[in-house]
Chain A
Amino acid sequence: MNLSFFDQFTSPCLMGIPLTLISLMFPPLLFPSPKNRWLTNRLSTLQSWLLHLITKQLMTPLNQKGHKWALILTSLMMLLLTINLLGLLPYTFTPTTQLSMNMALAFPLWLATLLTGLRNQPSASLGHLLPEGTPTPLIPALILIETISLLIRPLALGVRLTANLTAGHLLIQLISTATIALLPIIPSISILTTMILLLLTILEVAVAMIQAYVFVLLLSLYLQENI
């Protein structure tokens, strides 16, 4: 099969049946569910340690009411982490490279934080539109700017994730194509390109984890302002 550069970004389809749901539901299957045991095997111990770490990290800055969001934020983090990391394997489809998926995650969650803030403490959440200590003549301009910044948040969240992952995957494809194309011509340059590819792969692993963390962290920050 001769792949073009963008075949990895097409949603998987088998004889006309879209397999997107399976590709989204598969990563959670990789986590063993906690059984009714006190001492678990190594994988379950590590998994529960990681979950505790993530939840503690996310929930420490939030007040009591924000702890209702613990489940969705932690599960979102684990989902994004697994999807991103699994996407680095060859011939896999990464759902988070699709803008539609990331906007579907970012927009409702951001809107939920905004509406929570506006409903429960409207003046406080609107007060975030003006930073403290601004000189008086700047106030109208700054409010406009802050409003635009607020409204652009879901776009930023979604596009950030999409762009990072898509760019990373595309770069990997391009550099490996260069490696293969240069192999019969100048093998030494090909080896240099392979080194670059190795470093890029390590970067992509890091980026996959960081982007997942940043997405969830920003959501928790927006929540902190509004709850």
Chain B
Amino acid sequence: VFHTTRPLHTTQQCLAPLPPLPEKGGEVRYGLIPEEFFQFFYPKTGVTGPYMFGTGLLLYFLSKEIYVINHETVAAACILSVIIYGVKKYGSDVAAFADKLNEEKVAKALAVKNDAIKDLEAAIEQEKKEQWRVEGRSYLFDAKRSNIAMLLETNYRERLLTVYNEVKKRLDYQVAMQNLKRQKEQDHMIQWVEKSVVQSITPQQQKESIAKCILDLKALSKSAQAAV
């Protein structure tokens, strides 16, 4: 720890509220001489007063050789012209740069504040939306409930249909069995009757029937001829 770097005054000396500092410094003419100097001369000597005073002073110094013109004078003229040229040309740019640095500092802090405000506003919107959603919650539950009821009902009906179909299938089977049995019995009986009838036809009966048929046919042929 360097004790040489310890700052001497860390707080302001007096805690009473101080008046704010002025926005701009005092007005200066020619970068050196305060405006009050000219105002001081104005009532007595007008506008040209201070200039006459300055010229007289300069000539006094030169003529009395209180200020001697030597090589330093020329060097002074050169360095002063360089300085004045530099200030006139780049002064406003440098001032704008300094202002920009300050602006960026302020803008960074403002950005933090604005971001915080934006985040909070978005959170408020979100919260309002959630509250609106809560209001609609009962409708949501009703819809879900009726949905489920419908599903249950459908399921129940489907199962009922299945049961009905199964039972019908079994009953149809029984009916078909009975029908089949009856059919078989009928067929069998018919066959048996036919067989016994055929067997019962004696040869005598057969001859008689054939003779009768021939007589019928002759009778018919006679009537038939007549029809043609």
A-side residues, CB < 8 A to B, are: 1-3, 36, 38-40, 42-43, 45-46, 49, 71, 88-91, 172-174, 176-177, 179-180, 194, 197-198, 201-202, 205
Name A's interface SS: helix
B81 within 8 A of A: yes
B12 within 8 A of A: yes
Name B's interface SS: helix
Considering the complex, give the chain A residue whose CB is closest to the CB of B95: A42
For the complex, give the distance between the alpha carbons of A174 and B12 in Å: 51
Give the shortest distance, in Å, between A166 (CB) and chain B (any CB). 15
What chain A residues lie within 8 Å of B82 (beta carbons)?
198, 201-202, 205
Additional 20 contacts, C-beta under 8 A, given A39-B102, A40-B102, A180-B73: A1-B68, A1-B70, A42-B95, A42-B99, A43-B98, A45-B98, A49-B98, A71-B2, A90-B72, A91-B72, A172-B75, A176-B71, A176-B78, A177-B71, A180-B74, A197-B78, A198-B78, A198-B81, A201-B75, A201-B79
Decide yes or no: A90 and B79 within 8 Å by CB, A1-B68, A71-B2, A71-B5 being known contacts.
Answer: yes
For the complex, give the distance between the alpha carbons of A201 and B10 in Å: 42
Contact A39 B105 (CB under 8 A): yes
7 closest pairs, A vs B, by CB? A90-B76, A176-B74, A42-B98, A176-B71, A177-B71, A176-B75, A90-B72
What chain A residues lie within 8 Å of B70 (beta carbons)?
1-3, 180
Contact A176 B79 (CB under 8 A): no
Give the shortest distance, in Å, between B14 (CB) and chain A (any CB). 13
What 0/1 readout, one digit per residue, does chain B (37-80) give for beta carbons within 8 Å of chain A?
00000000000000000000000000000001111111110110
What 0/1 readout, one digit per residue, does chain B (73-95) give for beta carbons within 8 Å of chain A?
11110110110000000000011
